[in-house]
Amino acid sequence: MSDRVLPDVTAESIKVIAESAGIGQLPDEAAAALAEDATYRLKQITQEAVKFMHHGKRRKLSTADFDNALKLKNVEPLYGFHAEEHIPFRFASGGGRELHFYEEKEVELGDIINAPLPRIPLDVNLKAHWLAIEGVQPSIPENPPPVPKEDQHAADRPPGVTAKPSGKDGTKPAGKPGKAEVKGLPSEVAGVKLKPVLTHELSVEQQLYYREITEACVGSCESRRAEALQSLATDPGLHQMIPRFSTFVCEGVRVNVVQSNLALLIYLMRMVKALMDNTTLHLEKYLHEVIPAVATCILSKQLCQRPDVDNHWALRDFAARLMGNMCRNFSSNINNIQSRMTKTYTKILHDEQSHLATRYGALAGLAEMGHDVVKSLLIPKLKEEGEKVKMLMEGPVHNSVDKTAAEHIRALLLKHCAPVLAKIRPGPDNQEQYKTDFGHLGPLLCAHVVKARQQQQQQQLQATTTTAAAASVVQRPTLQIPQKSDWGRASAVLSAMAAPRTPTPQPTTPSLLTISRPSTPANPPSTPTTPTPGTPNPQTKYIIVSTTKASTSTTLPSTSTISSSGLASSSSSAASTIVKFVSAAQGSASGGSEPRVLAQLPSGQKYVVVSVPSSGQTTTTSQGKTQAVVMVKSEGQGSQGQGSNTGITSAAGTLAQLATSSSQDSTKSSTGLQGGATPKPNS
Amino acid sequence: MADPNRTVVVTDGSNDASTVSGAATGVQSSPKGEKGAGTDPSKMDQQTLAAVLQFLKNNKLKDAEAALRREAKLPDGNGDSSGSSRVATSGEVSSVLSAYESEGDLARYCEYYNSLSSFIESSLDAHKHELGCLLYPVFIHMYLQLVYNRHEKEAHKFFNRFSVEQEDWHQEDLRTLSTVKTREQMEGNDLMDTFRSSKFVLRMSRDSYQSLRRYLKQNEHRELLSILQDHLFIDVFDGVPRNREQVQATSGAMMGEARRDANKVKVLYGLPKEPDINVPLDDDDEGAEGEDKPKKKKQKKDLLLNKNKKADPNAPPPSRIPLPELKDADKLEKVLSWKEGLKRVPLGRENLPSICFYTLANAYQNVSAVGVSEDSSLLAAGFEDSNVRVWSLSPQRLRTMRNASELDQLDKEADDIVERMMDEKTAADSWLLHGHTGPVYATSFSPDREQLLTSSEDGTVRLWSLHTYSNLVVYKGHNYPVWDVQFSPTGYYFVSGGHDRVARLWGTDQFQPIRMFVGHYSDVTCIQYHPNSNYVATGSSDRTVRLWDVLNGNCVRVMTGHKAAVHTLAWSPDGRYLASAGVDKNVLLWDIAYGRLLAEMKGHTDPIYSLCFSREGSILASGGIDNTVKIWDVQKVFEEIAGSDDLTSLDRASLVEVGSLLLGSFQTKATPVLKLHFSHRNLLLGCGRYQHS
């Protein structure tokens, strides 16, 4: 008992309180007597408050419980103590005294009166689902996944390491086993432990599901595809079917590369992405099929019938990003995926004879590996690549295919190298210096770096993120987007539940999903504990989070700093479900009016596009072909103008949108975000 | 009956007469069933009388006092007012406080306690566990004596040294106790008052008691002796001493176990004969189905009716409690529910139920209560922002009644008058009821679904009309939060219970409670009306479950065994078994016929807030804030006791040994299970509020 701090009010505290109440000299005895009594009363009231917690059927004691307990004891409850934070106390020390205080800011009444009315929160509604049907829990998104991910992993492990049958038995109902049950051989028969054999037969329902999903994924109907991908990305209990899906992808890529069918390749990559997004699946055992397929889509010489018109670059970008995510999620000391892929890429770059498209893929692949890789492998090559680009663009032999390739390579290098350079090179940026260091690309690079620097400086006004640390540990996410693994599911459920009963959405409540931020673990580590002067309202933040697991990955430094300034965007390919989180405790209250929701696709995939004043036109179509950023749009149109294969262009358009909306395009979208964020401190 | 034991303690005992009688009663309620000695009741009456007189005097109610004195044939109070007041105060306050006044060497308390515990440790294994129960009350009272006599330091030391040795389930009370550090704080502390004014009940076999007596004789610890005499009630029984499991099964309540004589009254737990129902059985329905089918149906129905008509020897006479007369609508209702019952799915080990779960989304304010109507067509949720919301679970949307002028124009003779009264324009999926000024902790629908009761932190119970969606009556009586309220199965009556430790029985048309059930040592946290409307079961945070007779307000069963506050109760459909659960995460099953514990079901990892028996009583569903619904095979227990229904083993709480009863466990994603309800067809409905983490 002595080793823990005794929960007592000390006489010093009483004296401090007395001082603040205007009593200067409180005698020691009086303070001690008061302290003792205060301790007793506090404990008594807390114990009463626990009763209210129990009757409120909660696990957490709330301030309201405490108020009720005070009321019970005929003490006037505390008025106006409603903190938006979980623990609203600030710490200060000085002069040998340590003090925890509650920071109360002066509030300008005018601001409150003139502030626009907060949006009305969504109304309470009731939704029914089947928790169990005759003792068997159906695998629907409303229910937790039948086999927890850890158990999938345990089942994957070789026998003898640790087989935990006991934990499983406890969770399974003892009644009828489900159809998709792990069929264990009678393992105790001879005292020999046999590895349980997984059934390789799918139930009729699963076969139907497989057929429907695969048909929809590669079919021509975009809305059905979106639905299928959504199902792949969110449904729990698909783990029985991953082998089938991974084989499907692998074989599909093999066939379609030969036939140069760009559209199908894109569809297959999107399938891979959806599978990776599914938080209940454990893909590790199937990488041997998936990785070659994805690598093919990055590096293949020819991915489309008309390399001069078709936008196969988007596919390469997208696949490279997938690969980057895979490396981050699955690379280990045993499989060494990251180093093996990096080797593959660099080998191509060293090979002078390699095809330009392949080179582009290799560069994109490296760029997606993270900052360390960019710094050590890409930047030293800038000069060489620059010369190559120059030769192709200005050289004597004019080949439109080569020229577009060169343009793309240049854009790619600028996009990825500039932010890194802005970090590692000390300013000021001198055009000449860049020219000597990086050759042909120098001047352009210089312009980009300057732009990147400006952004960073703006963000550093409010940020305390250590960029050095961010640069040094690129492999690990520097910014943990507040994201527990079940958020994806949570939001999926919420999206299902938040929908009003009637199919037509209410005009007053836009179908934007608003979730008040959970109080405990969700604080991004970079959020400062004490508000810096730059942020007058630290509680109101807009965090755009893609709720998939993949996005816990590396973020660009620029975005990580954005987060602390008020906007966090996760930079990764995961864009299937972007949910806007308003972190203020009043839910959607205060600032919800500022960024406008422009697009929500009715087909299940949700994009919340924040209106970005500076990035020009942001147009949406309800079909899901959101051409979000002008640059991408022009590319898409370029191919559309000449091409006859509209299927390809629409797929490429969607893909481009996926790529851009996940904000890897730091220049465009982060300025956009910045534009949205900067007016805030003024308001 | 010459009982040599009776006097031993007394002669050893120190001084006053009250301790003598206390110890004497302790021994006397031995299994022969002999009630307390003749002197005791009269003495008790004297004391009570004196206390009442004192109260009247203090409140200057002279006439009443004089009247009472006249009636009680007491001498006029004016003469010896000082004397009587001294008697009264000593009866009320000083007897309790002075009991703590001790001249003995308080510093030696540690020694005494050590000696007692080492005696218990060294005694025979057979007695060890029964005697072990002594330690906790002795510890408490020693500590309180130390505090009372202003030995704060010693008290603190004593507490720190021995509190860790107490059983886990006592720690909650010990925490409360540990806050009391000075004599002043002892005043007005609820738990303190309870300990001071009531005796801690222990049950012990005669053998164990003998060995305790020998120990006390050898070591003349006067203080220990006086604690045992003043604050403990040792209920001695003949028979084999109980083992550890048996002792643990029933211990845990705030003031020890139930006295054996507390559970002796016969409880008429059976269901009364169903009244004859002469309602034309749904002509329209049968007419539509042709001529052959109705006959078959009628036969079936007759079978069902016959079954219910069989007289149950344990059923109370129908006139025992005046019940509201059945209206035509009620009869129709009964017929419909039978009809539904015919389609019931039998549940059991092999047939687990289907569970339909209702999730409340977007409830930013917490949901603190959920109620479902008997026929599963309505759901009411109470929120912590004092709102109540009613949803319809059936396709029938919720409508209000037309206004008076429109009602006036209706043809009152029409067959579908009820239907016509409703205003189709107001149909809505849910209605919001405003009125309470604090979190709503319970909701209960009347059996006819025309009224709704809610109880709240604001100390009121409110009755709402579900025709107009407005508040009809506010029942004030509990001045403190009302934790639970429930309609009787027949309507009209309802019970409420709250922080004031009293459960009240009300009639919907009366402002005053009809009965007050007083006896719990702490908050009444949950209430269940017995299916035959003659009894009310209450659970409390003193960790007991009590059964009260509605006829006379007596407590007829006290059941101990929970280790933390009880938060939910459920009756089996036949009225004989009661299930209870709460913060201690265990579900306990009780046999009301004998007031004994039948089974303990462990498995939940967080407090349990809902229990429900299936319609035929074969399985029990439990749900709590660990987000799981668990299904238990109670049929197995019932079968077991049906086989071994001998009365000899009933006194000792022996759990039915049947192994694990868990049939299934179903987890929700992030929704605590606040309410479970079996529909007539045995579909299990669950409800809770989605909590994003």
If one counts every other C-beta atom within 10 angstroms of the C-beta of residue B284, the result is 9
Q: Find the residue in B nearest to A53 (Cα).
A: B368
What pLDDT was estimated at residue A632?
34
Residues of B in contact with A64 (CB under 8 A): 384, 439
User: Could you tell me which residues come within 8 angstroms of residue A62 by beta carbon, excluding any fewer than 6 positions away?
Assistant: A53, A56
When pLDDT is cut at 50, 70 and 90, the band that residue A238 belongs to is confident
What pLDDT was estimated at residue B676?
95
Radius of gyration of chain A (CA): 29
Residue with the larger pLDDT of the pair A526 and A264: A264
What pLDDT was estimated at residue B196?
79
CA distances, B628 to each of B349, B599, B672, B677 (Å): 19, 20, 7, 15
Question: Using one digit for the tens of pLDDT, what is the confidence trace for B99-123?
Answer: 555 555 666 778 888 888 888 888 8
What pLDDT was estimated at residue A545?
36
Q: Is the pLDDT of residue B442 over 90?
A: yes
The answer to whether B459 faces chain A, any CB pair under 8 Å, is no
Cβ of B669 within 8 Å of Cβ of A144? The answer is yes
What pLDDT was estimated at residue A614?
39
Query: Which of A655-659, A667-671, B224-228, B601-605 is the least confident region?
Result: A667-671
Q: Is the pLDDT of residue B623 over 90?
A: yes
What pLDDT was estimated at residue B657?
54
Question: Using one digit for the tens of pLDDT, what is the confidence trace for A367-419?
Answer: 888 888 888 888 888 888 888 888 877 776 667 777 888 888 888 888 888 88
**Mean per-residue pLDDT of chain A:** 65
- Give the C-alpha separation, A444 to A447, whole Å: 5
Which tokens is B70 given?
């006249």
Cβ of B666 within 8 Å of Cβ of A132? The answer is yes
When pLDDT is cut at 50, 70 and 90, the band that residue A631 belongs to is very low
Residue with the larger pLDDT of the pair B565 and B339: B565
Q: Is the pLDDT of residue A22 over 50?
A: yes
Helix or strand run (H / E) with residue A409: helix A400-424
The answer to whether A123 faces chain B, any CB pair under 8 Å, is yes
| Percent of chain B whose pLDDT exceeds 70 | 81
Q: Is the pLDDT of residue B453 over 70?
A: yes
When pLDDT is cut at 50, 70 and 90, the band that residue A542 belongs to is very low
Average pLDDT on B520-529 reads 93
Cβ of B361 within 8 Å of Cβ of A68? The answer is no
Which tokens is A456 given?
């960073």
**Mean per-residue pLDDT of chain B:** 79
What pLDDT was estimated at residue B80?
41
What pLDDT was estimated at residue B275?
66
Q: Which 3 state secondary structure label does DSSP give B325?
A: coil
What pLDDT was estimated at residue A398?
66
CA distances, B559 to each of A26, A245, B623, B661 (Å): 52, 59, 22, 22
Q: Is the pLDDT of residue B286 over 60?
A: no
Question: Using one digit for the tens of pLDDT, what is the confidence trace for B315-325?
Answer: 888 888 888 88
Query: Which of A84-93, A608-617, B417-426, B514-523 is the least confident region?
Result: A608-617
If you ran DSSP here, which 8-state letter would residue A378 be given? I
Q: Is the pLDDT of residue B463 over 90?
A: yes
Cβ of B670 within 8 Å of Cβ of A39? The answer is no
When pLDDT is cut at 50, 70 and 90, the band that residue A6 belongs to is low
Yes or no: say if A393 and A407 are a contact pair by the CB < 8 Å rule.
yes
Which tokens is B266 given?
């016969």
Q: Is the pLDDT of residue A564 over 70?
A: no
Highest-pLDDT range among A473-482, B32-41, B209-218, B503-512: B503-512
Average pLDDT on A229-234 reads 88
CB nearest to B606's CB, from A59, A135, A142 = A59
Q: Is the pLDDT of residue A137 over 80?
A: yes
Question: Using one digit for the tens of pLDDT, what is the confidence trace for A200-215?
Answer: 677 888 888 888 888 8
Q: Is the pLDDT of residue B579 over 90?
A: yes
To the nearest whole Å, the CA of B220 is away from the closest chain A CA by: 33
When pLDDT is cut at 50, 70 and 90, the band that residue B488 belongs to is very high
Can you list the alpha helix ranges (DSSP code H) found in B277-409?
283-288, 292-309, 328-342, 404-408
The answer to whether B623 faces chain A, any CB pair under 8 Å, is no
Is the sign of the CA dihedral B555, B559, B563, B568 positive or negative? Answer: negative
Cβ of A56 within 8 Å of Cβ of B364? The answer is no
The answer to whether A518 faces chain B, any CB pair under 8 Å, is yes
Average pLDDT on A516-535 reads 36
Radius of gyration of chain B (CA): 28
Cβ of A134 within 8 Å of Cβ of B354? The answer is yes
Cβ of B666 within 8 Å of Cβ of A39? The answer is no
Query: Which of A48-57, A497-506, B279-288 is the least confident region?
Result: A497-506
User: Which one-letter amino acid corresponds to residue A300?
Assistant: S
What's phi and psi for B470, nearest 5 deg?
-135, 165
Average pLDDT on B395-422 reads 81
User: Which one-letter amino acid corresponds to residue A241?
Assistant: M
Residue with the larger pLDDT of the pair B503 and A480: B503
Q: Which 3 state secondary structure label does DSSP give B113?
A: helix
What pLDDT was estimated at residue A474?
36
- Give the C-alpha separation, A164 to B229, whole Å: 55
If one counts every other C-beta atom within 10 angstroms of the C-beta of residue A184, the result is 13
What pLDDT was estimated at residue B104?
56
Which tokens is A537 given?
């309202």
What pLDDT was estimated at residue B1?
40
Q: Is the pLDDT of residue B231 over 80?
A: yes
CB nearest to A64's CB, from B175, B360, B384 = B384
Touching B: A residues 26-45, CB under 8 Å? 36, 39-40, 43-44
User: Could you tell me which residues come within 8 angstroms of residue B331 by beta carbon, excluding any fewer than 6 positions away?
Assistant: B277, B278, B279
Query: Which of A75-89, A319-333, A660-674 is the least confident region?
Result: A660-674
Residues in chain A: 683
Cβ of B674 within 8 Å of Cβ of A57? The answer is yes
Q: Is the pLDDT of residue A561 over 50?
A: no
Residues of B in contact with A173 (CB under 8 A): 352, 663-666
CB nearest to B664's CB, from A130, A174, A484 = A174
Q: Is the pLDDT of residue A512 over 90?
A: no
Average pLDDT on B243-263 reads 80
To the nearest whole Å, the CA of A168 is away from the closest chain B CA by: 12
What pLDDT was estimated at residue B679?
92
Q: Which of B212, B215, B195 is nearest to B136 (CA)?
A: B195
Tell me what ipTM this predicted complex has.
Answer: 0.80
Q: Find the residue in B nearest to A497 (Cα).
A: B361
What pLDDT was estimated at residue A388?
81
Yes or no: say if B130 and B205 are a contact pair by the CB < 8 Å rule.
yes
When pLDDT is cut at 50, 70 and 90, the band that residue B75 belongs to is low
Taking every pair of C-alpha atoms in chain B, what is the biggest distance, in angstroms?
A: 92
Touching A: B residues 348-367, CB under 8 Å? 350-364, 366-367
What pLDDT was estimated at residue A54?
92
Average pLDDT on A417-422 reads 81
What's phi and psi for B656, nearest 5 deg?
-70, 125
| Percent of chain B whose pLDDT exceeds 90 | 29
A-B Cβ pairs (cutoff 8 Å, strict): 173
CA distances, A291 to each of A197, A276, A371, B628 (Å): 26, 12, 22, 39
Which tokens is A625 given?
């072909």
Which tokens is A291 given?
């990785």
* Residues forming beta bridges with residue B558, ordered by sequence position: B546
Torsion of CA B644, B648, B652, B653, to 10 degrees: 20
